[in-house]
Amino acid sequence: MRIVVCVKTNLDLQMVRIKGREPVLEAVPYKVGDLEKNALEAALALKEDGLDATIVAVTIAEGDRKIGETMKEALAIGADEAVVVDDPALAATDQAAIAAALAGAIRHTGGADLVLCGEGSTDGYSGEVGSRLAELLELPQLGYARSVAVADGAVTVERSLDDQIETLRAPLPALVTVVSEINEPRIPGLMQIMKAGKKPLTELTAAELGIDAGATASQTAVLSELAEEQDRKHIMIEGDAAEQAADLVDALATEGVLRR
């Protein structure tokens, strides 16, 4: 069985600084996205439960960065091999072109019995790529999975609704998008990190996948990435503890935070 895990590498958001309401991205490292790690952990759990499977991590290099080095993290976590679509035409594209490139890479490298994706990415969190990919590959999609099981040629997932748990089942091949509640991703040890460099990593271009570079142009535009504006009044409260408490209550009441 061949399990493909779609991986997006994101900026390490904990390393992003805000200056003048704009994010400072220079020198911020990339890492495998959190939800992608959940998807990869779900694949590893299926394999450890006895499923005879090869796990392939597939990603798109969206920009000029050392994507191969970042993908070694996915290999260290447990993927058997990695596929990277690295093409300048995909540097500033949108979810439609990313899904098309992923579909091309999956077909080009042998297809998939099960495709696992995160429900969204930790940066944009559009939640579009999984659904678009399922449509392109003509696969049934099961979304918001908090558990995944494979048996008898079918995949079964559970997902939480407002007041109940829903169980869905679909024949393989299929595509499943997972939520963070599904598991706690493992942290690779030193031995796994050292072995990652010896695992297969294939790099492809858009041309090799038969994707027209003109079709990769983004159909969306980012108008602003400004942080929320905050105007602070810098109200100083002085005096002893009782006076400070009384003045604080007055100030909060004046702002409408408290009601008297």
- Domain 2-216 CATH class label: alpha beta
How many whole angstroms separate alpha carbon 55 and alpha carbon 76? 12
**Measured distance CA(208)–CA(237) in Å, rounded:** 67
Least trusted range by pLDDT, from 47-51, 84-88, 176-180 = 84-88
121-144 residue pLDDT tens: 877 678 889 999 999 999 999 999
Q: What is the pLDDT of residue 126?
A: 80
Q: Mean pLDDT throughout 142-151?
A: 96
Instruction: Round to whole Å and give the CA distance between 186 and 177.
Output: 19
What does the buried/exposed string (b/e) look like for 150-184 if buried means 16 or more CB atoms within 10 Å of the residue's CB?
Answer: beeeebbbbbeeeeeeeebebeebbbbbbbbebbe
Count the helix, strand and coil residues of the chain and give each as a percent rounded to the nearest 5: 30, 25, 40
Kindly list the distances between the CA atom of residue 188 and the CA atoms of 32, 72, 74, 131, in Å, as whole numbers in the listed order: 13, 11, 9, 30
Domain ranges in the chain? 2-216, 230-260
Q: Biggest alpha carbon distance in the chain?
A: 74
Q: Band of the pLDDT at 64, cuts 50, 70, 90?
A: low
Say whether pLDDT at 217 is over 90.
no
